[in-house]
Amino acid sequence: MIYDRKTPCRGSRHSKFWRSLTLWHHFANYFPLKLVKTAELDPKNNYIVGSHPHGVLSIGAFGSFCTEATGFSENFPGITPYQVTLHGQFQFPFRRELSVLCGAISSEKESIEYVLKKAKGNAISIVLGGAEEALDCHPDNYDLRLSTRKGFVKLALKHGAHLVPMYNFGENKTYDQLDNRRGTRLRNFQTTFKRYFGFSAPIFFGRGIFQYSVGLIPYRTPITTVVGKPIAVKQNSTPTQEEIDILHSEYCKQLIQLFDENKTKYGIPENANLNIY
């Protein structure tokens, strides 16, 4: 761990063997997981992919960007996927090695910039809602914490990386949580906990191994990861706040459009709206 400590901030190391294990195909078939492409990604460019919603464990993003279970390389030939995760995830022995082999990288700024600088044809998936959005993981919740998340837009402008919206339909159905609506005592405690410790503490439950009532195994519910059309970004090493706001607004617009065009295909009512706060 000491010798290899900087690897998660230097692109990790993709292992085609590890990412293609039969284990991951069984994992994907459990839900099942599915990857849907709506547009091509040109290997001549780099991409920052915004993954929504966070859910409890971001299963959809993991399945598509950390494994080949949903056929990422077949859908996007010439594109190398990376999944951003908290730097603390690489502090646990053995677990960090498995994450590195999957191609997961640290959420540190220099880690993301390292990948964007080293070559073209990279797609970096970032679960933009973060820990706070994990607390909104309820089956019929379509709230996204995105209005104040603009760092990814600045990085995209600085490095000329195209932005791609991605929505994981069914992600919020994998677990149930105790009632923690905003304003409740539980939610206030969870928000305070996150502020001090850097990660949220959702009180969630799923199914057991031999029964469906309660447990920590996620429910068997289809998760369909729909990758939207890329938003072209012209490189600007010193973007103004106005330029960042304009691109952020366009990204939100494209994300809502992606949601609206696909929601009824994956069990979401026609009258459901994506709420960005």
Report pLDDT for 43.
98
Alpha-carbon distance of 67 to 33, in angstroms, equals 11
201 pLDDT above the threshold of 90? no
92 pLDDT above the threshold of 80? yes
198 pLDDT above the threshold of 80? no
User: If residue 62 lies in a helix (H) or strand (E), which one and from where to where?
Assistant: helix 59-65
Model confidence at 131, in pLDDT bands (50, 70, 90)?
confident
Q: How much of the chain, in percent, has pLDDT values that exceed 90?
A: 86
CATH of the domain at 204: 3.40.1130
Question: How many independent structural domains does the chain possess?
Answer: 1
128 phi/psi in degrees, rounded to 5 = -70, -30
Mean pLDDT along residues 135-161: 95
Alpha-carbon distance of 16 to 28, in angstroms, equals 17
- Say if 167 falls within a structural domain: yes
38 pLDDT above the threshold of 80? yes
- Say if 54 falls within a structural domain: yes
Residues making up the chain, counted from first to last: 277
Range of the domain at 242: 7-276
- Say if 2 falls within a structural domain: no
Mean pLDDT along residues 127-135: 91
Pairing of strands 104-106, 80-85: parallel
Mean pLDDT along residues 74-91: 95
Mean pLDDT along residues 189-205: 87
Q: How much of the chain, in percent, has pLDDT values that exceed 70?
A: 100
- Say if 80 falls within a structural domain: yes
200 pLDDT above the threshold of 90? no
Alpha-carbon distance of 262 to 146, in angstroms, equals 20
Respond yes or no on whether the N-terminal peptide bond of residue 43 is cis (omega within 30° of 0).
Answer: no
- Say if 128 falls within a structural domain: yes
Model confidence at 263, in pLDDT bands (50, 70, 90)?
very high
Report pLDDT for 241.
97
106 phi/psi in degrees, rounded to 5 = -70, 150
Of the two residues 75 and 132, the one the predictor is more confident about is 75
106 pLDDT above the threshold of 90? yes
Q: With contact defined as beta carbons under 8 Å apart, do 174 and 202 qualify?
A: no
Report pLDDT for 2.
83
Report pLDDT for 1.
79
Alpha-carbon distance of 81 to 102, in angstroms, equals 9
- Say if 1 falls within a structural domain: no
| Threshold 0.75, pTM exceeds | yes
- Say if 193 falls within a structural domain: yes
